[in-house]
Every structure is written in C-alpha cells, then in structure tokens.
Chains A and B, each alone.
Chain A
Amino acid sequence: MSKLNATDIQGFVLRGYNMPFARFCFLHFEDAESARKLVGALLSSITTGQLWDQGKPQSTLNIAFTFKGLVKLDLPLATLISFPVEFQEGMKSRSGILGDSGVNAPEHWDAVWRDETGASEVHAWLAVHALSAEALDARATDLFTLVEKIGGVRVLDTQDAASIVLDGNVTTKEHFGYTDGFGNPDYLGIVRKSQPGQGKLMPDGTWVPLATGELLLGYADEAGELPIAPMPHLLGANGTFMVYRKLHQNVGTFRRFLDEWSARYGAGDAAAKEKLASKFIGRWRDGTPIEISPNTPDSAITQDPNRSTNFTYGSDTGGARCPVGAHIRRVHPRDAFGFQGRLINRRRITRRGLPYGPYAASDDNSPDMDSVERGVVFMALNASISRQFEFVQQQWINYGNDAHVGNEKDPLIGNHMPGERFVIQGDTNPSNPPFVCAHLPNFVELRGGDYFFLPSMTALGMIAMNLVDPR
C-alpha cells in the first residue's frame, strides 16, 4: 500500500503528539450558519498529518463532532442516517451495552454531559495540544476570541490535561503510577516508527501493521471490507471515530487497596506492593512487561522499542507470569485466544490520552484523596466504535468469557459490583503464589464523554461550505 494522503488527515489521528499540555473545549452550536462559519474559519489552522519538517509546532488544533453536532450543522438527512447506529445514539444511550452503570451511570457524569434539554448539548470537541502552558493559553485565547467574534457558538466547558511531571521530568505515567502509552497498533500506510508487538501477529511470529481500514474510513479493514461510513464517500474517507471518556481515578482507594492486600499477598513491603500492582496491569509500574520479566522491572526492556511490547502469551497459558485477567492481557490479548491472534485483529483501538489533575505525592496521606479531581482523559480512535471500542469495553473489560474467567472484569478499570474478585495465577515459587483479590472497589469512575466523528480536511471543507450531498 502506498503512503496515505497525510495532509488530508487530521494529525491527531495519525500520531500521538507527545505534547505535555492539552485543553479540550466542548462547543454548542446555536445555529448551522454560525457553526459552518466557525469550521470555515478554523480550517486553515487545523493540524494535519503532514510531517513536521521544522520540528514540532508550539501547539496543535483538532476538531470533531458529535452526531447531534452534525444534525445541528444541517447535514442532509440521507447523510445523517448513513452514520453507524452507535454514533447516532451517542455514548450515553449505549451505557447499558458498555456496562456504564452504578457509579459510572450517566446521572453521575459531569454536568456538561448531562444535558437533557438540548439547550446545551455538546456538539463539537476542539483540542489544543501544546509544548508549554503559555503556548496552550495563547492558542486557547485566540480560539475563544474567534468563537466570540463569530457568535452563535458557545464554549460549554473545557477540560485541561497534562503529562505528570516527577522530579522535574515530564513522564508518561498516570495517577496510579503506571507508565502508560505502550502498544498502540501500527497501520498500513501510516508513517511511524514501527515496533514488534504493535500490529498483528503473523503465523511465523512476526508482527505486521493492521489494515488501514481498522483506523481510517474509506480503506479496506482486516476483513477486506470498507468500514461502515457516511455517504457521500468524500465525507467519510480519511476520517475516523473517536470515543472520549473522562476517567476519574480513586488514587486513595487504589493505594489503600495495595497496602492492605499486599500484606496478604506477600510481606506487605514495597516489593510485594510492586509485584501486586504489576499483576493488575501486566506491566511493572515502570512499564516492563511481566510476561518478559516476571521477577523484576528492567529498564533495559522498557527503553528498547524492539522488546518493550514484543511478547506473546502462548507459553504462559496458565497465567503464572501474567495473570489471564490482567489489564493488558485483556485489551490486547495477542495470541492468548489462539488462532495466532486472528480473533483480535478487528478489535484493536488506537489510544490517545493524557492525565488531568494533580499527581498525589507518595507521602500524601490526605483522607479525601479520592475526591480530588484527577484521572485520565481517555480517547480511542477506531473505524467502527461498535466493532472495536464497544466490543473491547463490553466483552474484554466488563466481562471475561474470552479470557475464560467468566464474569470477572478487568481488575483496574472494570466497573465492579460488590463482591467481585481478581484471580492472580501463580506457581510453586513462594514469591509468586496463587492469590485471590476479593472485594474489588471501583478504582476508576466514568465522569462522562461521548462518541465523535473526526473528519478529514476535505470533509471539514465540505461541512464549512455546506456542500455535503448524500450522493
């Protein structure tokens, strides 16, 4: 396959910007004309996938729409009904399918996601990423000035996010202390430093990129078909769908749980705590995969792109190294379900995300640590929200039959009901005992989000000029 037309694809789709600051702005359109005017005014400043020959820019800008936003933009009815059903419904309506119940139910979401009247529903997502806090503020100020000047568009809410800085160093850690961001898939035609472990597994054990149509509309997917996309073709092609979820992290609950259960799992010392933490995710907190290095973190592995995500579970079917219910083994099962991974190649998602809120220092003992606003802004990109994100969320995170663990959920991000447990497989070595963590609390709580369509530059132009014809 030849190279994709990167200048037509929003940069956010093709690459993680690796910028430490971001602000996500949620807009409401009062009328179609103003909304089109805004899209038109922004068009030339949207960041595309074009390579940065002069190095990284100070800031980037990207845009996406909810289905309600596209309705408000007055797209033709024939076009609107050609969008996939789950996108038309939106994430709130899919909460039953996703298992977003209990504390994760929509009634507990942030106000911006709870609009019932339609008067202030979210129509668009504007994302600014920046290299510095100053650049972020400057770009956002320009943006809001423009929005105000055009009129007819309201900024409902903004969400700031930023990389966690530890000892003066920008990290890729999240609030539980895990190093995040390994293992996004590679796709055909997307220029990126390819790493073994990131695409799809071949019968000979090598890894190759996934079909482009697993990420972008208008290209063949892993089944050799075009993903379901809106009509006309030009509106969908080079676009994708995004799932936005604000995930609150109960850091106090997590740390207390580790303290309490590491005393039963091991000696309750730092070593036992770190080992238990690693079993939850499948990586040591520095990112070392426990499948490769079960006994100790090893920075030589995390620093080596040829090794950091290059492993399979075929020789560990019993889960003695990486528990069969551990987070990364669920969401990227590699060969764990047999058939050289062929059952999972159409269930992969690309993750973009950044933490929000202040990092709790290791000696932070405040009793209300859970109630501090902090977590992760999780964004997933995929060609089919229902086949990819929703399937992973329902079947692999909040359910476990494919992993042969019945109704057991992902220990860390599953939506736990009272009495749920996580089985950690072990062996005869006393330092690696079989163990059951019972009474799992909700370490993570959903605070809202929605499904978005991230159009190509061509499509944005069509929308701005009101030139979307269904045929």
Chain B
Amino acid sequence: MSNINGKVYAMNAITPMRPWKTWILRAIFFILGNVKPLQSDLINLSFIQFARWVIIPRNSFPFVGAPQQRELLEYDYLLFFSNFNGTWNQYIDAFSAVLSKGLDLVWKWSEKFPGSTPVTIFKEYITRVQFDTDYYYTAYPHATANDVKNAHIVQQTFDALNRNAATMSPDQFREAYLQFVLSVQTHLGATGEAPIVF
C-alpha cells in the first residue's frame, strides 16, 4: 500500500464531470491527440514517465450481473493516471509552473476544479480527488525514466561499436572509441537509492 516504489510515484486522480461537458473534453482530446506539438511540454518534462487522461462515461462502469445492482450515475468521470520520478510536491509544482494552460483545458470540465494556478489551491484539489495506490510494481526501483532511457542509449551505442570493432585497425578503433564516448557522455549517470521524500 504505497504510491511510491523506489524512485517512482504512481498517482491516480478521479474527477466527476457533467455529461454535457464530456463532449467538449472529447473534442479537446481529439485535437491534443492528433496535433503532436501540443503534447511537447508534457513530454519534455523528463521526470514524468507517462501521464494519461481517460474518460469513463457514466454508463460504462462494469456491471457483472446480479446481485450487483445497476447504478444510475449522474456524472461521467475523468481518470488521470501518471507515473513520475521525484516527489508529489515537485510534480505538482512543475505541472502548475509549466503546463497550467494545458491542464486547465483538460480539467476545467471537472466539477469544482479551481484551476492549476495558484498552486496551493490546485494541490488541495488533487489531494481531495487522489486515490492511493493499492499495489505498485516497478521493474527498476533504483532507476528513473531518464536512467532507463540513458541505459538504452549506452547499450545500443556500445553494441554498434562492438559489432564493428573486430575489423578495425588500432587507429580506427581509437577514433571509433572516441566517437562512442562522445555519444554516451551525457548518458552515464549512476542508478541508486532515491532521495528521502519530503
């Protein structure tokens, strides 16, 4: 029972929407989904592994038959799910500082959404609508998204060097090795324990 596993935090937030507003959000999602540059700010926040918003219409909740009773829901729901590296505060601070327009566009259709700035009121809102994680598996608790991406780059670059190295002359290898180091030199960070959450 924890939202945190090593360097990763899993956040779930569920917010109710008046059904007529859901259509507006669908249109916004269509545009955001098809105009990739609009996603760039979110993607460029490198400590976010992923973030996804999903609309759950009020008639789409699971019904498995009797004895479960059919529910009559008045609201559609917006599920927000994100995994990120760093602290909850750091994450929301960054969201508010960098993505406030985009967040407002997605969340303003939810009931009682106060806006993503000022940040303290936004944090209070997230606290109210956040659901804690029951079980959370992560393959690399000592690695962040950056670490994993860096490791892939180092591995691929090394494999390429390795493939060609056997046939190189010493001088060629010297040059190839230098190029290899230059290609990986910003990707050599160590993995390890996460800092203490505060």
Instruction: Report A's interface with B, CB cutoff 8 A.
Output: 86, 94, 96-97, 99, 222-225, 317-319, 324, 338-339, 342-343, 345-346, 386-387, 390-391, 394-395, 398-402, 404-408, 420-421, 423, 425-428, 434, 436
Given the complex of chains A and B, what is the CA–CA distance between A342 and B89 in angstroms? 15
Q: Which residue of B lies closest to A85 (CB)?
A: B198
Contacts A401-B47, A401-B86 known; A406 to B150 CB distance under 8 Å? yes
Q: Which residue of B lies closest to A436 (CB)?
A: B188
CB pair B93 A401 closer than 8 Å: no
CB pair A407 B189 closer than 8 Å: yes
Q: Could you mark each residue 103-131 of chain B with 1 if its beta carbon is under 8 Å from any beta carbon of chain A, else 0?
A: 00000000000000111100000000000
CB pair B186 A404 closer than 8 Å: yes
Interface residues of B in 164-191 (CB under 8 A from A): 178, 181-182, 185-191
Q: List 9 A-B contacts (CB under 8 A).
A: A97-B198, A223-B96, A225-B120, A318-B185, A391-B90, A395-B195, A401-B7, A405-B188, A407-B189
Looking at the assembled complex, report how far the CB atom of A466 sits from the nearest CB atom of chain B, in whole angstroms.
32
Looking at the assembled complex, report how far the CB atom of A60 sits from the nearest CB atom of chain B, in whole angstroms.
34
Looking at the assembled complex, report how far the CB atom of B5 sits from the nearest CB atom of chain A, in whole angstroms.
16
Q: Is the interface of A mostly helix, strand, loop or mixed?
A: loop
Residues of A within 8 A of B144 (CB): 401, 406
Closest 7 CB pairs of A and B: A406-B189, A407-B192, A405-B189, A425-B185, A434-B185, A97-B198, A407-B190
Looking at the assembled complex, report how far the CB atom of B40 sits from the nearest CB atom of chain A, in whole angstroms.
10
8 Å CB contact of A346 from B85, B93, B195, B196:
B93
Given the complex of chains A and B, what is the CA–CA distance between A222 and B93 in angstroms? 11
Q: Which residue of A lies closest to B188 (CB)?
A: A423
CB pair B191 A406 closer than 8 Å: yes
* B2 at the binding interface (Cβ < 8 Å): no
CB pair B185 A319 closer than 8 Å: yes
Looking at the assembled complex, report how far the CB atom of B171 sits from the nearest CB atom of chain A, in whole angstroms.
15
Interface residues of B in 76-110 (CB under 8 A from A): 85-86, 89-90, 93-94, 96-98
Given the complex of chains A and B, what is the CA–CA distance between A342 and B182 in angstroms? 29
CB pair B198 A394 closer than 8 Å: yes
CB pair A428 B97 closer than 8 Å: no
